[in-house]
């Protein structure tokens, strides 16, 4: 049984996991674009759009425009390191850690950038509850979620996107389930109030 004094720690852990997953999704989007984002300019943007595709470039640029003004010197240095070696996993790990700190210090920013990334969740065998995206209120923007579950066991519940209140925007959910056993549940998108 969980005592009341343990609940704040669990909430902190839950939100930290959200920031960690969000930072990972951001890294997947911006790492290939950082050489062009750091250089800047019209020519770099054109080259990036050709190499990455215009949609991927625009998404990376939108994330960078929101994140870079909030970066402190360590985060900017980590971003420059990844720009110099975008495929280096150790440099990406260092920048991801800096992004986690930025997001955890500014929950409004975290919510804002979460609308620009695709959340991904992969689960082997699910016995409890798994939510890929959980939002209190969506008023604009687009949320994309991918949930891949091998097996939902009895009592397990897989929810790709759960929103308390949807006032606008767009939700896309891709839920792949190999097997749902009797007593297991799967919900693609759950909206409590529109």
Residues 39 and 102 in one domain: yes
Residues 109 and 125 in one domain: no
Residues 20 and 97 in one domain: yes
Alpha helices in 31-88, H assignment, sequence order: 34-39, 42-52, 54-67, 73-84
- CA 37, 62, 112, 123 dihedral sign is negative
Whether residue 157 is predicted with pLDDT greater than 90 in this model: the reply is yes
Domain that holds residue 148: 118-193
| 145-163 b/e (C-beta count within 10 Å ≥ 16 → b) | bbbbbebbeeebbbbbbbb
Structure tokens at 122: 């992969």
Specify the pLDDT at position 92: 92
Residues 15 and 102 in one domain: yes
As a residue count, the chain comes to 194
Specify the pLDDT at position 34: 93
| CA R_g for the chain | 18
Structure tokens at 16: 């930290």
pLDDT averaged over the chain? 83
How many domains would you assign to the chain?
2
More confident position, 152 or 12: 152
Residues 69 and 13 in one domain: yes
**Residue 169 CB coordination number (10 Å):** 15
* Beta partners for residue 158, in sequence order: 130, 186
Helix 89-105 to helix 107-114 angle, to the nearest 10 degrees? 120
Under a CB-based contact definition with an 8 Å cutoff, are residues 155 and 138 in contact?
A: no
Residues 30 and 97 in one domain: yes
Starting at the edge strand that comes first in sequence, how are the strands of the sheet with 118-126 ordered? 118-126, 142-152, 170-180
Choosing from 58, 86, 114, the residue where a domain stops is 114
The stretch 124-139 carries a mean pLDDT of 83
């Amino acid at each position: 049984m969980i005592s009341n004094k343990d609940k704040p720690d669990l909430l902190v852990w839950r939100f930290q996991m959200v920031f960690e997953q969000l930072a990972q999704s951001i890294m997947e989007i911006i790492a290939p674009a950082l050489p062009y984002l750091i250089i800047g300019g019209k020519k770099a943007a054109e080259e990036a759009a050709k190499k990455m595709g215009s949609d991927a470039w625009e998404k990376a640029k939108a994330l960078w425009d929101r994140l870079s003004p909030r970066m402190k010197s360590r985060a900017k240095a980590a971003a420059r390191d990844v720009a110099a070696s975008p495929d280096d996993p150790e440099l990406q790990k260092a920048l991801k850690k800096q992004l986690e700190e930025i997001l955890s210090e500014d929950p409004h920013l975290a919510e804002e950038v979460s609308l620009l990334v695709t959340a991904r969740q992969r689960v082997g065998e699910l016995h409890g509850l798994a939510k890929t995206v959980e939002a209190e209120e969506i008023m604009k923007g687009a949320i994309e979620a991918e949930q891949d579950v091998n097996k939902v066991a009895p009592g397990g519940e897989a929810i790709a996107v759960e929103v308390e209140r949807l006032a606008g925007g767009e939700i896309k959910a891709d839920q792949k389930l190999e097997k749902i056993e009797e007593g297991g549940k799967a919900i693609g998108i759950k909206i409590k109030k529109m």
